[in-house]
A and B are shown apart, each in its own frame.
Chain A
Amino acid sequence: MRLMSQIPQKQNQPPNVRVLGRRGFLVAGTTLLAAGTGTATSQPTQTSLQPPRSPGAPMTKYGRPSDHEADVVRSRIRSKTGTTGSGASGTPLQHLRGTITPSGLHFERHHSGVPMLAPEQHKLVIHGAVKQPLAFDLDKLHRYPMTTRTQFLECSGNSAALLSPKAQDWNCADIHGLVSCSEWTGVPLAYLLDEAGIDPTASWVIAEGADAGRMNRSVPLSKCLDDAIVALYQNGERLRPENGYPMRLFLPGFEGNMSIKWLHRLELTDSPAMSREETSKYTDLRPGGRAKGFTFDMDVKSIITSPSPGLNLQQPGVYQISGLAWSGKGNLSRVEVSADGGKSWIDATFDGAPQPLALNRFNAAWQWNGKPALLMSRATDSAGNTQPTRQVWIKQFGSNAFYHYNAIQAWRVFGDGRVENTYAT
């Protein structure tokens, strides 16, 4: 088990940092902060303060995490009955810090498994309402200008577990793990569409993957010309197979399902395809029985990754509340945190200026007095949207909308330091 006390506490806090206390806000000096780095109950890997002296392991062709981090793996790998490749797995958010998701821990959502594509045989074809249908192989694409941005990708079914009538005994990754953030590098799609020559009748681009089920989604042409890229690299290396190797569509801020992996075909049309993935799935059924379609943008959201279930508190004292916040509708303007179930809030701080369409790390110091607490975070984006409470979300969208759930998450802290998923408001 990874313990809270294993996470290094920041020792050199500036004085007068705001600390969230049980009964409101304290303005704390350095004496209070010194309490945070107390006795660790973790398994010691060495018995003295003297590190080992024997010669270590050799160089490796491709490095991997320490053997001691073997429990930092994708969460809740689940697949449809009768299949192994149609399903999902989650990023272990509570074990990560910073904002970049290691490529091997990026969440997965596949509909026909992960195809193993030979890069030299793979081509992207652009056709339909264009002057000249064109094909691009990887060598050719590498001669185009590329752009690099750090942006999140979130499955629109992420966090839907919180629609279940009773709060499940699940951890942060189990509930919210279908969001990740990477540095994506690729060719702006506008270059390729322009080269093919967009016919004036075109208003949609139907993107199709080379997975066995040829999964497809209709994307507004305007998005394709705005900030869509054909991504070839993830965190500096070629895409991982489970993220679309050798090329994928990447649509910043849009629901993850639309960023078609293993991209092989783009057809320009005057109409959306109304494919299965955008009609029978990925539409939002509302109370009253009507459904809303084409809800592309992901909404503003935040989650406290630590403390969270499994990262239990050890003894009263100072802890760093840390979490992630993002919005598909732009940037973040604010993240607030509460330790009393939303009765009082203080502003969390970001590491530097928040970045648009990316995961942003927020932090707040918290003085835990050893009594039960309810931890929450609440994000507001640059478009003025603020996360609602769960009750407000369900009242507006119902319990069956399933996609685009973005209500405030509450973690219940018990007197013994256990942390649990709960429904507070």
Chain B
Amino acid sequence: MPPKVKLTLPQFTHAIVYAGGLLISNPVIADNEPRLGDPVTATELSRLSITVLPDGRGLPDGSGNALDGAQIYQTHCIACHGADGQNGINDRLSGGVGTLVSTKPIRTIGSYWPYATSLFDYVRRAMPYNAPGSLNNNELYAVTAYLLYTNKIIGDTDEMNATSLPAVAMPNRNGFDWPE
């Protein structure tokens, strides 16, 4: 159960104002909860909500594999992240497995990320850097599949979709301590 909301409310009072001989009640409300929010429809929410949870809730329809994803990566990603997710000018995406215990750990999708769903979610919300939101669902699944493939986590023809992606066994899945 969530904690009970406790609001600090001003004391209940009434301001009594006499105007032109008429008694006008102008209450200073005790129940200071304006309740002005506008209802939002399910249709509006379906366009707005892009949250993906680790169990796969929120993943859209569509699918793609690494063979398709390689092309998308070449077009949209390689300039910053380099061939196969290495040696780019920006974050390294692959390799580094086994380095977390070293003095120079390399944190990549394969060596560090605990959930494959986070990868799809992040690419969908934030990438490509100059045009986030520009890839369609099949392209997103395909480039996600490519990045998992370059990290040797899945095969090049494995289809990634709303069912298969949450089931991907990430190498560092159990490498984190989360508080209760």
Contacts and interface: CB of A to CB of B under 8 A. Distances in A.
B51 A269 contact: yes
B38 interface: yes
Nearest to A145: B32
A133 B40 contact: yes
B114 A134 contact: no
Contacts of A292: 176-177
Interface in A397-420: 399-400
A136 B105 contact: no
Interface residues of A, number: 66
Contacts of B26: none
B105 A196 contact: no
Interface in A315-343: none
A3 interface: no
A13 B26 CA distance: 54
Interface string A234-271: 00000000000000000000000000000001010101
Contact of A290 (B7, B51, B177): B177
B133 to A, nearest CB: 8
A200 B132 contact: no
A194 B33 contact: yes
A114 B118 CA distance: 24
B2 A203 contact: yes
B7 A191 contact: yes
B16 interface: no
Given A81-B89, A127-B49, A291-B175, A285 B38 contact: no
Contacts of A25: none
B7 A194 contact: yes
B125 A194 contact: no
Nearest to A196: B37
A275 B121 contact: yes
B175 A225 contact: no
A288 B101 contact: yes
A143 interface: yes
Given A213-B126, A275-B122, A195 B35 contact: yes
A168 B117 CA distance: 38
Contacts of B113: 276, 279-280
Interface stretch (B52-60, B65-73, B141-149, B151-159): B52-60
B128 to A, nearest CB: 11
B20 interface: no
A213 to B, nearest CB: 3
A198 interface: yes
A111 B3 contact: no
A134 B53 contact: no
Interface in B126-171: 126-127, 129, 132
A271 B2 contact: no
B3 A132 contact: no
Contacts of A399: 103
A200 B1 contact: yes
Most buried by B among A81, A127, A226, A280: A280
A144 B7 contact: no
A324 to B, nearest CB: 29
Given A143-B34, A194-B7, A265 B48 contact: yes
Contacts of A112: 126, 129, 132
Contacts of B105: 285, 289, 400
B5 A214 contact: no
Given A274-B54, A275-B122, A190 B5 contact: yes
A191 B176 CA distance: 34
Contacts of A265: 48-49
11 contacts: A81-B89, A82-B129, A112-B129, A133-B39, A196-B37, A202-B2, A208-B51, A213-B129, A274-B54, A292-B177, A400-B103
Given A190-B5, A290-B175, A292-B177, 5 more contacts: A81-B89, A81-B90, A135-B40, A276-B118, A279-B176
Interface of A: 80-83, 86, 111-112, 125-128, 132-137, 140, 143-145, 188, 190-196, 198, 200, 202-203, 206, 208, 212-216, 221-222, 225-226, 265, 267, 269, 271-276, 279-280, 283, 285, 288-294, 399-400
